[in-house]
Structure 1
Amino acid sequence: MNILIVSDAWLPQVNGVVRTISTVRAELEAMGHRVEVIGPDRFRTVPMPTYPEIRLALGAGRRLWSMIDALRPDCIHIATEGPLGFAARRYCLKRGKPFTTAYHTRFPEYVRDRAPVPLALSYAVVRRFHKPSSAVMVATPSIENDLAARGFSNIRRWTRGVDTELFRPRAKGFLNVPRPISLYVGRVAVEKNLEDFLRLDLPGTKMVVGDGPARAELQQKYPHVVWAGAKHGEELARHYAEADVFVFPSRTDTFGLVLLEALASGVPVAAYPVPGPLDVVDGSGAGCLDEDLKRAIETALTIPAQRCRDYALSYSWRRSAEQFLSNLKPFG
């Protein structure tokens, strides 16, 4: 099948949406499908306000429509509610083509954290965007229930996976810092609620792997934290495996791929009991969820590494790709 994915989040961006799409794309291609991704890299772009690392496509309309016509896809999946997503949505509605969408990001909450926009207004826009979709793909039951309560329909599950060969337990000791090492991996941005972790009085070392618009300010404010910057591939995997506990302070993620990457590395998770961690970690015995984040960290440090690894092995990117494929709506 000839599959087209349109996404405002795409390479060279580094985030969970890009990792999900690129990994599932590789799985689908290994299954014999052709997958094309149209992202901002094909257009003139401007930096997103308050988040310059993300580029937004300009004037995507006619050019995007011509690209879609030339590709002649069998089905279209719209991954994001951005300029490209809206342009692809208009194309499908105008041409009478079915399409699917995904709810990767709690966009209304992200907007609220940056501007005085009421949640009800943002959710009305997002709900309208997804309403014509044949399937709104979500990663977890918590997000599905939340969207259903807000009037969304046609919701279908699309789980996530983890590369258990890259992310695996390794010998510790390549970082010469005091233990225990409490690690955060991800974007350094306001919506990640990182200061809840950074301000804690913890023994050992707090480490942040990642970059983002809030890094300069937070690095100046918390100089005793080890700021390792963005890491990729083998280097990223080594930093995961070096940690003693993985701390996930976000309250707005829809899943959190980093949770699985940490668990696959044999590192227990400490997080708040909110969507994402509730769906991935709760009841697994591989982490601790608590409204007292310090207590969650202290408890997680007692969890055996093998329990975390065994749990992560149940997540497969092939299963994720098969689920994605079953949710698609081919043209009639």
Structure 2
Amino acid sequence: MPQSPSLAASASTPPLLRLLVGRSEFALLVALIVIIAFFSLASGTFLTVRNMTNVLGQASLALTAGIGVAIVFISGEVDVSVGSLVAAVAIPLVTIMNMTESLALGVCGALALGLVVGAVNGYLSAYAGINSLIVTLGTLFILRGGVYLYTGQTAIPDDAMLESFFQIGNGRILDVLPIPAAIAFVLLLVFAYVLRHRPFGRQVYAVGGNPEVARLAGYNVRRIKFTCFLISALLATVAGILLASRLGSAVHVAGLGFEFQVVAAVVLGGVSLSGGVGSLFGMALGVLILSFLSNGLGMLDLATEWQLVITGFIIIAAVGFDEVKRQRH
């Protein structure tokens, strides 16, 4: 029996291309290419090595924190505390370095604070049963208020002036690729592998898709969600360390509104707000789309207000498209 034209065309399509087209990331990749192509034609300085690497460096913070936020979303919970945590972890980092002149001790202090915040968010959400949006929103305000109180709304300078600390946020590999971007890409690959090929990753998707079924399958739902909050806090801490290095101080307004930038990229990247759906590569494309869009609009001298409006429309459209696709399936 002869094949229909559509079946014949499908059979003749290379397997890799069929895989890409069948994934939601393909549309995001096309959108990213279109954005880069448009601004390359609109601005002569957009498609330059310097500008491209600068955008990657700026996007690395949202990409790093976005990995953790996406994992929490996939598990069926929400974390909006990352912006304030980015500012908070810089305080023990810089303070300890100033006292000891040790980068390692400063980083340990920052990670310790991140672990505490992640544990509190995870315990209250997963074990105490409080809505994670309320918990992390409360954490956001508590941390931001604490930062204001401790610093007196004045930056704490990096008096130690360690070259190793400076290079973390400002150095470049082969004088081209920013070190923060390299760190973000390595973390992306590691956690993407864990989510797709390790038991923990399968458990996260199962818990986010249907926690009751996951529990009946023998998964410890509370522990898995608790671990996701720990991961999110630790990755936000890494982003905070990178930002503090770039700024050369602990700044009380650091990360202000950062949580919205990260959540927007995660949602744009196809991570479902209902849990159980999404990928880290989609999230990464969402970060890059918003970063290149902001950079390009800035080069066209478009007012910041209009940049926010355009970004908002894109996010609403992305969520609407995801909802339509989910209802069809």
Both structures adopt the same fold (TM-score exceeding 0.5): no
Larger fraction in helix = 2
User: Which TM-score band (shorter chain)?
Assistant: under 0.3
What is the TM-score when the length of structure 2 is the normalising length?
Answer: 0.24
What is the TM-score when the length of structure 1 is the normalising length?
Answer: 0.24
Larger fraction in strand = 1
Computing the radius of gyration from Cα coordinates, the structure with the larger value is 2
